[in-house]
Amino acid sequence: MIILECKNIYKSYPIKKNFFGKVIRELPVLKGVSLKIEKGKSVGILGDSGSGKTTLAKILLDLEKPDRGDVLYKGVSIYDMKKEKYKVFRLNVQAVFQNPYNSLNPRMKVIDIVAEGLKINFKLDREIIRKRVLESVRRCGLPASVIDLYPHQLSGGQRQRVAIARAIVLKSEVIIADEPTSALDVSVQSQMINLFLELQEIFLISYLFISHNPAVVDALCDSVYEMNEGKLRDVAFSDNKFF
């Protein structure tokens, strides 16, 4: 079953305007990109900085709009969805970003960071929310005591685990991870890869992994693409090694 899909996505950014503010020059970033993410499967996208990987992720998350093309959640365009169905899409498609320190509110304790989506979207008893938060942080390999700490009191690996806990507490179907291990030490990267695989096995989560590191997507993904000059191409693997 295809959970999330984009079709023929084009996106450009203005880089020059005339005296009247009209765009006279644009930088094309995505050129007819199409991608499918199936239930319980992982898709990887490799590419250099500036290749358009993050722009595609933002469009799939509906943080940016394409110039042309469509994004479908379970076969329905997110741009045609009514409010209730769009809410389901936003709940079920979550993100984990490269730098967890920037993506976590430094003024909030871990319990409030992880619980934020539950509080916004559901009317749940306080104790139920606490129970779900504790379950999520434990699933992500963190001790229960971490919920009373602030992000600055955590290591980089712990902060990334909190970011993942924030996504899985909503029982999300798709997690879009934009360079989720690049800011971490090599030993911690290995731990995070194992965590992603473990959570996928338990919850049948679908992943889109964006990275510049072939070894990361090799370890995690069922299919891999390379982003180059705004287009995707299949990447081949041999004996689980990128070439």
Mean pLDDT on 117-144? 93
Mean pLDDT on 23-33? 85
| Residue 99, Cβ density class (10 Å: 0-12 exposed, 13-18 middle, ≥19 buried) | middle
Which amino acid belongs to residue 78?
I
Which residues, at least 6 apart from 22, have a Cβ–Cβ distance to it below 8 Å?
Answer: none
Residue pLDDT, tens place only, 157-183: 899 999 999 999 999 999 999 888 876
**Chain mean pLDDT for the chain:** 89
Confidence of residue 27 (pLDDT cuts 50, 70, 90): confident
- Percent of the chain at pLDDT > 70 equals 94
- Does pLDDT of 79 surpass 80? yes
- Does pLDDT of 99 surpass 90? no
Confidence of residue 82 (pLDDT cuts 50, 70, 90): very high
- Does pLDDT of 155 surpass 50? yes
Angle between helices 186-203 and 156-168 (to 10 degrees): 10
- Does pLDDT of 240 surpass 70? no
Instruction: Among 15-29, 110-124, 139-153, name the one with the lowest average pLDDT.
Output: 15-29
- Does pLDDT of 241 surpass 60? no
Instruction: Among 25-29, 44-48, 146-150, name the one with the lowest average pLDDT.
Output: 25-29
Which amino acid belongs to residue 104?
L
Confidence of residue 185 (pLDDT cuts 50, 70, 90): confident
Which residues, at least 6 apart from 118, have a Cβ–Cβ distance to it below 8 Å?
Answer: 124, 129, 132, 133, 169, 170
Of 76, 112, 68, 107, the closest CA to residue 92 belongs to 76
pLDDT at 49: 80
- Set out the domains of the chain in order of their start, with CATH numbers: 2-103+173-242 (3.40.50.300)
Of 86, 96, 75, the closest CA to residue 6 belongs to 75
156-to-17, 77, 100, 150, 219 alpha-carbon distances in Å? 41, 36, 7, 12, 21
Mean pLDDT on 233-238? 69
Cα angle value 157/129/151 (rounded, 5°): 25
pLDDT at 183: 65
**Strand spans (E) along the chain:** 2-17, 23-38, 42-46, 68-73, 76-77, 93-96, 174-178, 206-211, 223-228, 231-234, 237-238, 241-242
9-to-80, 87, 163 alpha-carbon distances in Å? 16, 22, 28
pLDDT at 43: 95
Cα 126 to chain centroid distance, Å, stands at 28
